[in-house]
Chain A
Amino acid sequence: MSERISLDETRKVAKLARLALSDDELERMRGDLDGILDWMAALAKLDTAGVDPTFHAVEMVTPLRADEVREGLRHSEALRAAARSDQGGFAVPKVMEGE
């Protein structure tokens, strides 16, 4: 039986999605996705020549509001849920190497 998605592709997608999956989880995920994608292949039969895509079902233009200063979330409240904060900012793991 031909595969819709390989284990390598599944690993690549997991990396793009920033999901750490064990080898067992990757294999199981591949099987799940394979079944779903196989079933979705029927969509290819739908004739969509000349049909525009719908991104939002209700037509709308981007509304503008008056540019007024309003109270927003307080600094301390925004930081309260952070796993770590430092000097009034979110403390995060090192992003750049060698500095």
Chain B
Amino acid sequence: MLHAASASALRERVVSGELRAVDIARSALDQIVGADARIGSFLHVDGEGALAQAAAVDRARAAGETLGPLAGVPIALKDNLCVRGVPATCASKILEGWIAPYDATVVERLRAAGAVIVGKTNMDEFAMGSSNETSAYKLVHNPWDLSRAPGGSSGGSAASVAAGMAPLSLGSDTGGSVRQPAAFCGLVALKPTYGRVSRFGLIAFASSLDQIGPFARDVRDCAIVSEVISGRDPRDATSVDLPVGSYVSELGRDVRGLRVGVVRSTLAEGCEPGVVSAIDASIDTLRRLGCEIVDVALPTAEHAVSAYYIVAPAECSSNLARFDGMRYGPRVESPDLLETYGKTRALFGREVRRRIMLGTYVLSAGYYDAFYAKAQKARTLISRDYAAAFERCDVVLTPTAPSVAFGLGAKTKNPLEMYLADIFTLPPSLAGLPAISVPCGLSDGLPVGLQLTAKAFDEGTLFRVASAFEHATDHHAHRAPGFATASVGGAA
């Protein structure tokens, strides 16, 4: 009965003593038992760990200690994040049975904030996919329509929140992997600036692009958890030493005079009509709120898919070289060492193998300049496009995805078709910029996502605009039918 409550409401009720963290944890675990057979969002549920963490929160309250910003709030974590003593498989057979020996930095920070980790969520294998269908274990069904994909690669994290199994979850975003599933499942998700959140304990896919990002049902909850996980970490040399600032204090602020850049040219092509009309209506809403709408151009963005599907596979071919069956994971023994490597690594699924091959190819002698170096130069031009756009505006507005959630199996035949699902999320990723996806309406009963992109380390402005937009509309209040019950958190 607590599963529809927001994280901020739950925390308040724990602090006031109205609810015990242990009862909230039990309610979340019950909802997982009741709903996940239909959804498939969890790979491991850690009931014992969750109840122990919740009990610690209740003890801290009884002892009169100050409670953290997520005290007693259940959270689900993507299965590429390390939680000490809990399996982390990346939804791959090559990590079957592996138990993480340490906590990721984000996990340490969540624990310190009083959050209760309920389990590990399903994902595309090694975060490579846009529909969650490359998981080696099981499909994830979109809570809005069980015949459709939840998006990917953090599809389990998105579906778990959309189906009320936890008010919050973390995913990782390399080319859109939190924003696109948030759009498909009607949620808010942030891809922070590259370097904003420590990647220590996140199993690497493409190191120059990967960032951890949260899912929530409203902008406030997203702001709270984003603040908790952000900031410099000496264990990640690419985490940046800049003050995080208060995202929560941006909520409810006036947006009059803020300039919103709209890309009207090439990006609008290939979008479903329902997405286009929801985006047009969103632009009108922001104009009504006093934002100035300006046209901007991202001329190199049309090359983002090519550039990304060169850079990310190149980095993955290097990062995934460590999975050779020697130090962890299953080993397929053969008398010959090369054969042992080859057969062990054949445990990777088809999409992961495809990306390792593509990455190895574009980095190999004779092709490096034509592909890899060229893609890295395209990346520079994309960053320059944004720099020019931000001369004229404070945030850039696009759809998050060109369509609403597509059917399971609809894009699995042709890898290129799946890659094109990422056209809007890839440009900010290549430029390292922060971007948020917020619900902006329904098309034939399915959620549409609005993506806002800001300058590096200007997450604050994203939360400010997202909050004003949410306040002016009721899109975030739509819940997946069948998983929508009266909101306990709001009413209490």
Binding site for B on A (CB under 8 A): 5, 9-10, 13-14, 16-21, 29, 32-33, 35-37, 39-40, 42-44, 46, 48, 51-58, 60, 62-63, 65, 73, 77-78, 80-84, 90, 92-95
Contact = CB atoms under 8 A, between A and B. Distances in A.
* Chain B interface, DSSP helix/strand/loop, else mixed: helix
Interface residues of B, number: 72
A2 B325 CA distance: 38
B430 interface: yes
B376 interface: yes
B374 A44 contact: yes
Given A46-B378, A82-B326, A82-B328, A39 B335 contact: no
Nearest to B343: A20
Contact of A20 (B195, B342, B376): B342
Contacts of A57: 194, 208, 379, 383, 430-433, 456
Given A58-B432, A78-B101, A19 B195 contact: no
The 7 A-B residue pairs whose C-beta atoms are closest, nearest first, are A57-B432, A20-B342, A53-B376, A83-B331, A81-B328, A48-B377, A54-B379
A40 B360 CA distance: 16
Given A40-B306, A44-B370, A18 B341 contact: yes
Contacts of B373: 53
A37 B416 CA distance: 10
B135 interface: no
26 contacts: A13-B361, A13-B364, A18-B342, A19-B345, A19-B348, A19-B357, A20-B342, A20-B343, A20-B345, A21-B353, A29-B354, A36-B416, A40-B309, A40-B310, A42-B303, A46-B374, A52-B380, A53-B380, A54-B430, A55-B208, A57-B430, A58-B432, A58-B456, A60-B240, A82-B328, A92-B337
B357 A84 contact: no
Given A42-B303, A43-B306, A46-B300, A65 B240 contact: no
Contact of B329 (A62, A83, A92, A94): A83
Contact of B101 (A80, A83, A84, A90): A80
A37 B370 CA distance: 11
A56 B432 contact: yes
Contacts of B433: 57
